[in-house]
Amino acid sequence: MVKILVTDGMDKGAVKSLKELGYDVTEQFFNPDELKKQVQKFDVIIVRSATKVRKEIIDSALETGKLKLIIRGGVGVDNIDVAYAESKGIKVRNTPKASSQSVAELVLGHMFSLARFVGIANVSMREGKWHKKQYKGIELEGKTLGIVGFGRIGQVLAKKAQALGMNILYTDILGANKDFPDYEYVSFDKLIEESDFISLHVPKNKDDSPLINKEKLAKMKDGICLINCARGGVVDEKALLDALNSGKVAGAGIDVYCEEPTCNLELVKHEKVSATPHIGASTKEAQKRIGQEIITIIKENF
């Protein structure tokens, strides 16, 4: 019987379906030291973002040779040493289609929050304050949204933002996408210089250097709003905090952090920040889609 370890939670309906299909499913989180021992017992390990499957975990699994498949329930695989695993004959798969709608909608949620002070106004109202005059916002219609990384999530976001009357610029390492002639492809530098809102949808740089640093922030428009629902480390958090304090950045929507759970309370408590705890894919619909994709992957491999 194929044994499956689910470490970071999974849609209950999908777990039930796997069991009904005859798979032996264990749902439990293990710290890294314990995971090194437990991984030797399983054919498949399913993780989200909390569990890190690094070289030492993979080496431990190789001692029994049982582990054949690692599945990331989500898009990014930064928390898995993919090349090393696959060089040892262990397949790595993810679920890239499942969370596009959810992440794109969260980006829009942050944009509305920043444009209309939804988050901070909610907090101040609960404190008994009536800051009507202080919270004069802006409209999204007519503003330019720059999308950095034009994969599935970027494409969904562009469609939704265009429906709100926004102008869309995008940049991508693959170049212009001929399937989307309504949106303007530009260089990265042109995008950061001309956008009113910027949304990031890229992985971390391989050398862990931030894509958005002090120099890149300086090139942006005064009053820019920056959204990061991609990966922690894509933005230099100290440089962003300095730009928020100086007024260069009018607002930041942040769902991902250099360290998670984040200890950077100065950033997340900033009055110009709309902060969420890495919940881009945390919708009922997305988790069901992720579960179904995982079932398909497992059935294709066993």
* CA–CA gap between residue 56 and residue 62 (Å, rounded): 10
The percentage of the chain sitting over the pLDDT mark of 90, rounded to a whole number, equals: 95
Note if 231 is an active site residue: yes
User: Does a cis peptide bond (omega within 30 degrees of 0) precede residue 261?
Assistant: yes
Residues 233-284 have pLDDT tens digits of 999 999 999 999 999 999 999 999 999 999 999 999 999 999 999 999 999 9
On the question of pLDDT at 76 being above 90, the answer is no
Note if 278 is an active site residue: yes
Put simply, whether the predicted model's pTM sits higher than 0.85 gets the answer: yes
Whether the CA torsion 191, 229, 293, 91 is positive or negative: it is positive
- Average pLDDT for residues 144-167, to the nearest whole number? 98
Domain regions of the chain by residue span = 3-98+283-301, 100-275
On the question of pLDDT at 78 being above 90, the answer is no
Q: Is 114 exposed, middle or buried (0-12, 13-18, 19+ CB in 10 A)?
A: buried
Task: Tell me what pLDDT residue 80 has.
Answer: 96
Note if 193 is an active site residue: no
Residues 193-204 have pLDDT tens digits of 999 999 999 998
Residues 199-228 have pLDDT tens digits of 999 998 888 899 999 999 999 999 999 999
Active-site option among 152, 278, 289, 293: 278
Task: Tell me what pLDDT residue 16 has.
Answer: 97
Active-site option among 259, 260, 266, 285: 259
Task: Tell me what pLDDT residue 46 has.
Answer: 98
Q: Do domains 3-98+283-301 and 100-275 have the same CATH topology?
A: yes
- CATH architecture, range 100-275: 3-Layer(aba) Sandwich (3.40)
- CATH architecture, range 3-98+283-301: 3-Layer(aba) Sandwich (3.40)
On the question of pLDDT at 185 being above 90, the answer is yes
Active-site option among 72, 110, 231, 270: 231
Residues in the chain: 302
